[in-house]
Chains A and B, each alone.
Chain A
Amino acid sequence: GAGVSQSPSNKVTEKGKDVELRCDPISGHTALYWYRQSLGQGLEFLIYFQGNSAPDKSGLPSDRFSAERTGGSVSTLTIQRTQQEDSAVYLCASSLDAGQAQPQHFGDGTRLSIL
């Protein structure tokens, strides 16, 4: 596709359920990033991938959060046993590679609401 695609665009779920968010990066981009945007915390880095490897997972808030990337393309971010504080917009971005000084291209995000 022409841009970064995220699905679903909106997700409402009950506290305690697991959710899976998907990101389809721009074709040919080897680096993929997950960020979270919330009113209280602003834009927070979660994790990035270079190919299928995740050199930096330092932003994942707890062990309930995990992410994987397969085939150097699609990535999924999984949140287990969701809590209300997980409500936020989850943004995915991709860049040509994870070398420094690269612009990142963002999807429109998944708006996650935990009831």
Chain B
Amino acid sequence: SQQGEEDPQALSIQEGENATMNCSYKTSINNLQWYRQNSGRGLVHLILIRSNEREKHSGRLRVTLDTSKKSSSLLITASRAADTASYFCATGFYNQGGKLIFGQGTELSVKP
């Protein structure tokens, strides 16, 4: 069964706007990761945030983690048409090796 739920399922914005995607999960985690997937391709790792961290930045990406609410958000600022893809959150757990459980994903469309 899926651990994470993401919303929205789909998001359509104009270039230059910001995109925010949310992820909620059910059980205690060790870390949470965000991945991007372009159509027909594998997943590309974007950012990893550990359970004792609250916020991380990487370029135009900002991720927050609220373990009390069991939720995370991914913000993409100043979006570009090339950001069009599906975005997945994935949770990792203590004592389960590197196994990740993925959410259902958010399909982002950025219109030029």
Point out residues on A near B: beta carbons under 8 Å: 4, 31, 33, 35, 42-45, 48, 50, 55-56, 91, 93, 95, 97-109
Contact = CB atoms under 8 A, between A and B. Distances in A.
Contacts of B92: 100-101
Interface in B94-111: 94, 96-105
B33 interface: yes
Given A31-B97, A102-B98, A109 B42 contact: yes
A31 B97 CA distance: 9
Given A100-B31, A106-B43, A107-B42, A31 B105 contact: no
Contacts, number: 73
A16 B80 CA distance: 46
A113 B99 CA distance: 26
B97 A101 contact: no
B62 to A, nearest CB: 17
B48 interface: yes
25 contacts: A4-B42, A31-B97, A33-B99, A42-B104, A43-B102, A43-B105, A45-B99, A45-B100, A48-B98, A55-B97, A56-B96, A56-B97, A93-B42, A97-B98, A100-B96, A101-B30, A101-B50, A101-B92, A102-B98, A103-B33, A103-B45, A104-B43, A104-B45, A104-B100, A108-B42
Interface in B41-93: 41-45, 48, 50, 88, 90, 92-93
Given A48-B97, A91-B42, 13 more contacts: A33-B100, A35-B102, A45-B102, A48-B99, A50-B97, A101-B30, A101-B31, A101-B50, A102-B98, A103-B33, A103-B48, A107-B42, A108-B40
A43 B33 CA distance: 14
